[in-house]
Structure 1
Amino acid sequence: MSTQNTPPLRKIIHIDMDAFFASVEQRDHPQWKGQPIAVGGSPTGRGVVAAASYEARKYGVRSAMPSAQALKKCPHIIFVKPRFEIYKSVSLQIREIFGRYTDLIEPLSLDEAYLDVTIDKKGIGSAIDIAQEIKKAIKSELGLTASAGVSINKFVAKIASDVNKPDGITFIGPSKVEAFLDQLPIEKFYGVGKVTASKMKLMNIHKGSDLRGLSIEALQQNFGKLGRFLFAVIRAEDHRPVQTQRLVKSLGAEDTFGKDLVHLEDMVAELETLAQTVSDRLSKKKLQGRTLTLKVKFSDFTQITRNRSVNYPLASATQLRDIATELLGNIDFEDRPVRLLGITLSNFNDPTPRPKADPDQLELFNPD
């Protein structure tokens, strides 16, 4: 690890709830314990899976998987209608447990967060002991399990939390960080998707140790900003603080329909509903944007996006509907039915930091 201009080591915990939505449903419905369940989707094959229990995952069912595909992999899977208000409530209970140990909490979503416990409220001192206490409290008070990663920075802690799932804890101490990162498969590094991973493997980059051997110039030339990031994190130079407030970069809503839409007027009607939902969320957060993105997913699961930027602020449902409708009208559907529409607004003019883990950012979800 580089020590030049390096700030003091921090104690960072990444807590990740285990199959959160599905686990809440199994907790509240004992008859589903030990059963393969999918939150979202439907037995008719419509919609997508929002979360899968570990029993369902054994069959290859994953979140964002179309219901029809989940049924093929696990014909006896149980589809459960999402209860987002319940998940939000449980998430707040989990946050309260975190708050017993530190005020430096950075939620990433309803089911995961970073905690900086370099200085903890109870004076425990050991980040491992704190993580164990948090896991114990979540299990005894809420009947749920969580996995934890403990290390010196956010990047390593997040990866560590996935090592011993479910209900595990992994500590990567300062002396072990370099060896841990060196053996890490390249796909595990943040920002490295399938395309980038394929390119890297052609360059004989298969794991962290291969990254370490490359200069920052070579990484930047081949991978741009991602290259600079990788050059730093492979050397454990991730000095990002745990942020209690995060900027909202986009806000939107989308809906998967119970029956594919084939008529333009039906699509426009759905856009009007989505536009109103997005407008209400913008109003709640006192935000206005200048870039609207329309998402269209067809019955064959292919999808396209179209966007438009304007030089005036967008916020009203009428504005959003009109631009989305215009974008929709310029799409050649080629007789393909539409199964999903979405509207997202970005390029906000309000720089005020706001909590990211807000259930208002959840998508409209129609599993029926």
Structure 2
Amino acid sequence: MKRILLAVTGGIAAYKAIDLTSKLTQAGYDVRVMLTDHAQEFVTPLAFQAIGRNTVYTSTFIEQNPEEIQHVALGDWADAIVVAPATANTLAKLAHGIADDMVTSTLLATETPKFVAPAMNVHMYENNRTQHNMSILRSDGYHFLEPGEGFLACGYVAKGRMEEPLQIVERLTHFFKNEEESTHEQPSRFKGKHVLITAGPTVEELDPVRYLSNRSSGKIGYALAETLQQRGALVTLVSGPTNLTAPEQVNLIQVKSADEMFEAVKSNFENQDIIFKAAAVSDYAPETPLDHKLKKQDGTLSVTFKRTPDILKYLGEHKTHQYLVGFAAETQNIEAYAKQKLERKKADVIIANNVGDLSIGFSSDDNDYTMYFKDGNDIHLGKKKKTELAEMIVDSVEARWH
């Protein structure tokens, strides 16, 4: 029987935690519950005690067993901890290591897998600080149970509803099943490692209507993110605009311009172990974007462009222990340009393809890559689905990454 420690914090969605306790118990889990002081403004310990048939914990300073430190012992007891609902306040405290109540003290004192189900007003959820705090927690290995869209207590119909209890139970069951299966497999070298991936195009605005971009779909970057996440890596995906959905447990950072991608990469670069720079970043951007739509005029139009930051070059010049994987989309002299880029950008491997072949690359589901390693051992992967190529790329990097 798997053991779940449910942490309930002070939001109106706390009432759904009672149903979650019931659903978990019915599914065969042994459930213990912690309540913050603010949670008790909405629900009572007795409700959880009656349904879960276990002690409910409300204070760090009430030690029910003198032979143990309660908030430490609870974290050690659990196979997984679920924070539901997770308020913006609790997310902020967890992200910055504040331990001023039973819930935050327990979570800070354990290495047990942690699941978080945010629930709050849509503007609180979309606030930059909340998104930043969630980004920190994802990079620390927290699993997020994304909120749904619907009617919120504040009256808005928008994103912010706590994930439904039945969906949370299914997610936990899936997690434990994968965990059990992975124990019978050869452990991946990526497990617990921090991996940064850039994906998709960038968009450089000329005016509020027009922009400069490219045809990158982001498919290979997203496929790499999913492959590495499945192998246990802690993945941060910095993505330009795409129509793709990132894997649930990946830390997704959405950007538009080359400058925004550069800043996102710089701020997340230092603690990474491996970097896949798969995004197709615009080399040039309009020097002075216009605030208003550029009106049609007689004659020709001249636009002055400036160079955008060379992200791969920056990474090559500033890497310390990181393994750096770059991509090269070429239309001619593929091998020569790839090897020049490998040396010039100080990468460990450049993965090149011919984007002049319209049957592969960009919006296609297929591609044909060659991997050029700095030790001279090149590998031609052949024409395959991008999902399959992602597996092969990760396999090749795993075999050579020291």
Instruction: Output the TM-score relative to the length of structure 1.
Output: 0.22
Instruction: Output the TM-score relative to the length of structure 2.
Output: 0.21
Q: Which has the higher contact order (CA 8 A, sep 6+)?
A: 1
Larger of the two Rg values belongs to structure: 2
